[in-house]
């Protein structure tokens, strides 16, 4: 049975409804109504669902739950919640990139001469994390290495001490993305939520570079992992358990070096998710590295699409350098694209 048919059956039994009367009120055949109740067919439209709602005399809350169950059963649970997440993402995009987080008061750990401090509660882990970030914000050219899940906006609040206080801060963030198209147990599109929660960091005024690798998120939650998350600087490291309830704060030099080497290795095996480019020189360098494979001839051509149809063949033959490698092929390619663009522009105008 579908989620819709299960809920419909529950309402029918709870309210002691006669199937014949319900089918007659909705204007459909009784055999079809039985198929809908047993999950073998779906109502042909939301209008039929409204008719059923009226006959069952559902409350507004029950009607909302009933309509949601209909859409989930019609579209599929994964598709429904993915669409919900996308709509929420688009509707609140400005709130996402301009979150306006309130400042968090600095938290200090009790002084200790020990290079390793065990943390046994969520509060202590949070306290250690904010203490590391507060101290890092006062350094000249701080570098921060993260292995944290951006599944909530807590990642933005964590990095809030760096925003506006240190324009030279550099943050490398390795995260795991879900390799399954199914929604998570929380009925969320996990990857979309990750993107939504790191967008404020990408425009936070410092060099934030996210990297990713793939794994199955649900299976990771079922596995034993001692300290899967990490906050690492040159002087301190915080290892965090999967539930953020336990941790280890260390400033032991040889251990820090081991973690730095491991993080660098993980970085080489991860892929850039978003690339922050702050000036033209870096953009040209990035494009050069992107298209330069060390062999053959490569061109990178970019212009405003609505101007493409102005590049006539006579114009190109006049101003395109004859010494350009593979001049004729390049000219043919530009002419073809200019003609296609002109045709589309003319069709749109008519």
Rounded-to-integer distance, Cα 53 and Cα 61, Å: 11
For residue 285, being part of any structural domain is answered with: yes
For residue 83, being part of any structural domain is answered with: no
Q: Same domain, yes or no, for 312 and 342?
A: yes
For residue 210, being part of any structural domain is answered with: yes
Tens digits of per-residue pLDDT, 89-143?
776 666 555 555 444 444 455 555 688 999 988 888 888 888 888 888 777 778 8
Tens digits of per-residue pLDDT, 4-22?
888 889 888 888 888 989 8
Q: Same domain, yes or no, for 194 and 229?
A: yes
Burial class from Cβ neighbours inside 10 Å (0-12, 13-18, 19+) for residue 68 reads middle
**For residue 254, what pLDDT band results from cuts at 50, 70 and 90?**
very high
**For residue 349, what pLDDT band results from cuts at 50, 70 and 90?**
very low
Question: What is the residue range of 52's domain?
Answer: 3-75
Q: Are 230 and 109 in contact (CB under 8 A)?
A: no
For residue 257, being part of any structural domain is answered with: yes
Q: Are 308 and 341 in contact (CB under 8 A)?
A: yes
* Last-in-domain residue among 237, 272, 307: 272
For residue 82, being part of any structural domain is answered with: no
Q: What is the CATH number of the domain that holds 164?
A: 3.30.870.10
Q: Same domain, yes or no, for 178 and 218?
A: yes
Q: Same domain, yes or no, for 328 and 241?
A: no
Q: Does the structure show a pLDDT above 90 at 319?
A: no
Q: How many domains does the chain have?
A: 3
* Last-in-domain residue among 75, 99, 125: 75
For residue 104, being part of any structural domain is answered with: no
Q: What is the CATH number of the domain that holds 56?
A: 1.10.260.40
The mean pLDDT value of the chain amounts to 77
Rounded-to-integer distance, Cα 350 and Cα 347, Å: 5
For residue 56, being part of any structural domain is answered with: yes
Q: Does the structure show a pLDDT above 70 at 278?
A: no
Q: Same domain, yes or no, for 70 and 158?
A: no
Which pTM was predicted? 0.56
* Last-in-domain residue among 253, 272, 291: 272
Q: Same domain, yes or no, for 181 and 239?
A: yes
For residue 81, being part of any structural domain is answered with: no
3-state class of 38 per DSSP?
A: coil
Residue corresponding to tokens 């000219």: 331
Q: Same domain, yes or no, for 268 and 120?
A: yes
Q: Same domain, yes or no, for 267 and 300?
A: no
Q: Same domain, yes or no, for 128 and 204?
A: yes
Q: Same domain, yes or no, for 143 and 253?
A: yes
pLDDT of the residue at 266? 93
Q: Same domain, yes or no, for 127 and 259?
A: yes
Q: Are 213 and 270 in contact (CB under 8 A)?
A: yes
Q: Same domain, yes or no, for 156 and 11?
A: no
């Amino acid at each position: 049975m579908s989620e819709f048919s299960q809920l419909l059956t529950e309402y029918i039994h709870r309210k002691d409804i006669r199937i014949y009367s319900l089918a007659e009120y909705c204007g459909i055949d009784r055999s079809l109504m039985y198929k809908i109740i047993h999950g073998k067919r779906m109502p042909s439209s939301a209008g039929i669902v409204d008719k059923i709602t009226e006959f069952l005399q559902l409350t507004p809350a029950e009607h909302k739950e009933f309509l949601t169950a209909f859409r989930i059963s019609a579209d599929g649970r994964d598709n429904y919640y993915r669409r919900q997440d996308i709509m929420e993402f688009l509707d609140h995009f400005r709130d996402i990139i301009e979150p306006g987080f309130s400042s968090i008061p600095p938290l200090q750990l009790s002084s200790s001469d020990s290079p390793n401090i065990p943390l046994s509660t969520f509060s202590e882990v949070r306290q250690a994390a904010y203490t590391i970030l507060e101290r890092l914000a006062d350094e000249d050219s701080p570098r921060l290495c993260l292995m944290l899940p951006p599944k909530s906006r807590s990642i933005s609040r964590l990095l809030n001490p760096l925003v506006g206080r240190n324009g030279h801060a550099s943050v490398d963030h390795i995260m795991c993305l879900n390799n399954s198209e199914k929604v998570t147990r929380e009925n969320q599109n996990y990857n979309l939520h990750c993107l939504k929660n790191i967008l404020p960091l990408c425009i936070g005024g410092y060099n934030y570079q996210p990297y990713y690798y793939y794994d199955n998120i649900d299976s990771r939650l079922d596995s034993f992992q001692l300290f899967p998350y990490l906050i690492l600087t040159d002087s301190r490291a915080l290892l965090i358990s999967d539930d953020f309830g336990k941790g280890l704060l260390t400033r032991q030099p040889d251990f820090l070096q081991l973690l730095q080497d491991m993080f660098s290795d993980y970085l080489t095996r991860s892929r850039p998710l978003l690339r922050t480019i702050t000036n033209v020189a870096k953009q040209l360098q990035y494009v050069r590295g992107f298209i330069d494979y060390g062999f053959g001839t490569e061109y990178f051509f970019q212009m405003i699409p609505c101007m493409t149809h102005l590049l006539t063949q006579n114009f190109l033959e006049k101003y395109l350098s004859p010494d350009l490698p593979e001049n004729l092929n390049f000219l043919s390619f530009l002419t073809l694209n200019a003609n296609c663009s002109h045709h589309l522009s003319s069709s749109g105008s008519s």
